[in-house]
Homo-oligomer: A and B are copies of this chain.
C-alpha cells in the first residue's frame, strides 16, 4: 500500500490500462478524494472512455435496486462481458449499510474477477457526489469494463444527476407503488430510458404497468420511447429481457442521427455540474477566509439584514477577492 501511494499519475494510468485492479482501486480512491493526482489520472484516462455501456439504475428505497443490479451483473457476465459496479446509494448492500443477508447474496459477484465493485458515500451538502461519481464511472470505462452499472436512489437532485450521467438510465418501481408512481416527478420519468416494474411476482404489477404507460403518455419524450418491463430480480425473471432492452437503447444511442447532439448535451450537463460544485467550494473557501460571512451572519441573526441581501453582499465580496487575485 505504501508503495502504491508513491505511484505517479502516469504510472497509475499505465497499470490501469494493463488491467491491474489494485491500481484501479487506488485511482478511484484518489478521484473520490479529489486529489491533484486523481485529477491528473482522470484527465489522462478520459480519451480512453466511451467504450463501456454505462447504465444508471435508480428508484426509491426498497424498490429492489441492489438485487436487480446483482441480477443484471450476472446476466452480463453470462454474455461474456466484464462489469464495473458503482453503488452511490448509502443504503445499498454494496455500501456501508450492508446487512449480512445482502452481502451473502452478492458473494458470487464479489469473488468473480470479471466484476469490480465500488461503493461511494453520499457527500452531504456540497454536491460533490455527482462530481466524483461521474469521474469514477469514467475511470472504470477507461479501465476497459464492457459494462459500468451505477446504482443510485432516485430521490435527490444529485442522485438524478448521477443516473443521467449514464448512457442508459433504468427506473425501478414496484407493484402497489401506485401512490409513489402518481407522485413521481415528471422529470424523473423523463430521464429514464427503460422502466422496470420489479417484484412483478407480487399482485398489482399490471396496474403498475398501466400507470407507467399513462405517465409516459404525457411525458415529453424524444426519439426513444422507454419500454416498460416486468422483472423479478430475486429469481432472475425478466432480467435477460432487461439486458436486451439496454442493448437496444445503447445501439440507438450510437446509431441515432441525434447521437452527436445527445453526446454534446451530456457533455454540457457534466461540465456545468462540475463547474457548479467547484465554484461553490471555491466561493465558500473565500467567504470563510475573509470573515465577510461571519459579519453577515451576525447581521442576519439580529434581523438587521435579510438573508437575501446578505447573500448578495457575500457574493460581491467573494468576486472582489477573485478579481484582486487575477
Contacts and interface: CB of A to CB of B under 8 A. Distances in A.
Interface of A: 39, 42-43, 45-47, 49-50, 60-62, 90-91, 97, 122, 124-125, 127, 134-135, 138, 153, 155-158, 179-180, 182-185, 187, 260, 263-264, 266-268, 270-272, 274-276, 278-280, 282-284, 287, 293, 296-298, 300-301, 303-312, 314-315, 318-320, 322-323, 326
A283 B283 CA distance: 12
* Chain A facing B: main interface SS: helix
Nearest to A34: B308
Number of copies of this chain that the complex holds: 2
Contacts of A49: 303
16 contacts: A42-B306, A43-B308, A45-B306, A62-B179, A90-B183, A155-B156, A260-B301, A264-B297, A268-B297, A271-B300, A272-B311, A274-B307, A274-B311, A275-B315, A278-B312, A319-B323
Q: Which of A91, A274, A275, A300 counts the most B-chain CB atoms under 10 A from its CB?
A: A275
Contacts of A308: 39, 42-43, 135, 274
B62 A183 contact: yes
- Of the candidates A97, A260, A322, the one having the most CB atoms from chain B within 10 angstroms of its own CB is A322
A38 B48 CA distance: 50
Contacts of A180: 61-62
